[in-house]
């Protein structure tokens, strides 16, 4: 089992460029999450998907879009990157009835210049 995988590991973008962060899990989890981690801020939820076909905004959704492609995959898209989106992005997954037990991917370190 690979668990939760994320690609790419590192990315540098110029302001205004777009990109998609990919996430996949092989644990048969229903729920998937995208977080951003900034120093002193902990992890903040960007978007959440309880199941295939559903997505909900989290605490900091502005500037992001998501797609729950199927049960395994959940992608995060930045349409027009801004320096404020420089962060480490984590994807996570869980069973829908145990949201406190989330399994995290290794993260994507994104720098926007």
Partner 1 sequence: QQQVKQSPQSLIVQKGGISIINCAYENTAFDYFPWYQQFPGKGPALLIAIRPDVSEKKEGRFTISFNKSAKQFSLHIMDSQPGDSATYFCAASKGDGQNFVFGPGTRLSVLP
Residue numbers of the site for partner 1 (CB under 8 A)? Answer: 4, 31, 33, 40-45, 48, 50, 56, 58-59, 90, 92, 94, 96, 99-107
Supply the minimum distance, in Å, between the C-beta of residue 16 and partner 1: 28
Closer Cβ to partner 1, 19 or 50, answer by number? 50
CA–CA gap between residue 106 and residue 109 (Å, rounded): 10
- Alpha carbon distances (Å) from 47 to 14, 28, 32, 42, 85: 23, 19, 9, 16, 15
Closer Cβ to partner 1, 12 or 16, answer by number? 12
């Amino acid at each position: 089992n690979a668990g939760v995988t994320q690609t790419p590991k590192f990315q540098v973008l110029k302001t205004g460029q777009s990109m998609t962060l990919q996430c996949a899990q092989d644990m048969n989890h229903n729920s998937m999450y995208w977080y951003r981690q900034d120093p002193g801020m902990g992890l903040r939820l960007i978007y959440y998907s309880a199941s295939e076909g559903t997505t909900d905004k989290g605490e900091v959704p502005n500037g992001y879009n998501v797609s729950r492609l199927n049960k395994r995959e959940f992608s995060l898209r930045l349409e027009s990157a801004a320096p404020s989106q420089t962060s480490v992005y984590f994807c996570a997954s869980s069973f829908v009835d145990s949201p406190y037990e989330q399994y995290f991917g290794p993260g994507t370190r994104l720098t926007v210049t």
